[in-house]
Amino acid sequence: MAAAALYTCYTCPFAQRVWITRNFKGLQDEIKLVPLILQNRPAWYPEKVYPPNKVPSLEHNGKITGESLDLIKYLESNFQGPSLLPKDPAKKEFAEELLSYTDKFNGTVFAAFKGDLAKEAGPAFDYLENALHKFDDGPFFLGNEFSLVDIAYIPFVERFNIFLPDVFKYDITAGRQKLAAWIEEVNKIGAYKQTKTDPKELVEFYKKRFLVQMSTGCASGLGLLHGRSTWSSSK
């Protein structure tokens, strides 16, 4: 059987979610990466693979699937490897609650870039801090189990943790010990470390795109960071 193909972009946080999941489940031989440079996307991608022209997308068993949260669940359900969803009913319910909050979390933080960051984005980071207190049997969102929830949040938290202190002088871990410990623990996960972008490159990438847009008063700067204008990424 031919290997599945994951169409991705190495700088895209949405695509990074699926990349981490693939690596953690040990699917490197079953799912090949097809990296795209989205600022110069090949014409064949929307024409022959994925008409929405976004990443990530997965070609498997003759079908194409998109949207990062759907894809990480798809990999969990359709491929072998270590489980990334809990069997415990309470944890499973909480996992769905946290996964459903990801869009609101990202939207709140990105929108705060043009206002009072600490006041407007603070509650979103407080939500994560409080969520990490739910289960005390480990450092992850579901306690001792690294899961799809951690995978859904870390690509964005990673970027905020680098970009916000540098540009806005806002430390997302200040007064949030659980969040700081979570970031530290996730950084020990090999499947995640294999997908990380150099921090200096991330800061420069965002500065060039976001700050230039803000200086000209263009609201699309938010889209550049969110992955819509620059990455054309699926959620």
**The two structure tokens encoding residue 117:** 């960051």
Question: Domain range spanning residue 60?
Answer: 4-78
Phi, psi of 7 (to 5 degrees): -85, 125
The answer to whether residues 115 and 202 belong to one domain is: yes
**Angle 70-74-80 from CA coordinates, rounded to 5°:** 155
Beta strands at 4-8 and 57-60: parallel, antiparallel or unpaired: antiparallel
Domain boundary residue among 23, 53, 78? Answer: 78
The answer to whether residues 67 and 103 belong to one domain is: no
Contact 183, 161 (CB under 8 A): yes
Domain assignment of residue 18, yes or no = yes
* pLDDT at residue 113 in the model: 87
Whole-model pTM above 0.85? yes
The answer to whether residues 103 and 207 belong to one domain is: yes
Phi, psi of 84 (to 5 degrees): -120, 15
* pLDDT at residue 234 in the model: 53
Name the strands in the sheet holding 31-35, side by side, starting at the edge strand that comes first in the sequence. Answer: 31-35, 4-8, 57-60, 63-66
**The two structure tokens encoding residue 44:** 């064949």
Q: How far is CA 206 from the centre of its chain?
A: 16
DSSP helix/strand/coil, 34: strand
Give the helix, strand, coil percentages of the chain, each rounded to 5: 55, 10, 35
The answer to whether residues 53 and 131 belong to one domain is: no
Length in residues, the chain: 235
Domain assignment of residue 174, yes or no = yes
Quote the number of domains for the chain: 2
* pLDDT at residue 224 in the model: 40
* pLDDT at residue 208 in the model: 75
* pLDDT at residue 69 in the model: 98
Report, as ranges of residue numbers, the positions in the chain whose pLDDT lies below 70. Answer: 1, 209-235
pLDDT of 87-145, one tens digit each?
A: 999 999 999 999 999 999 999 998 998 889 999 999 999 999 999 999 999 999 999 99
Domain assignment of residue 69, yes or no = yes
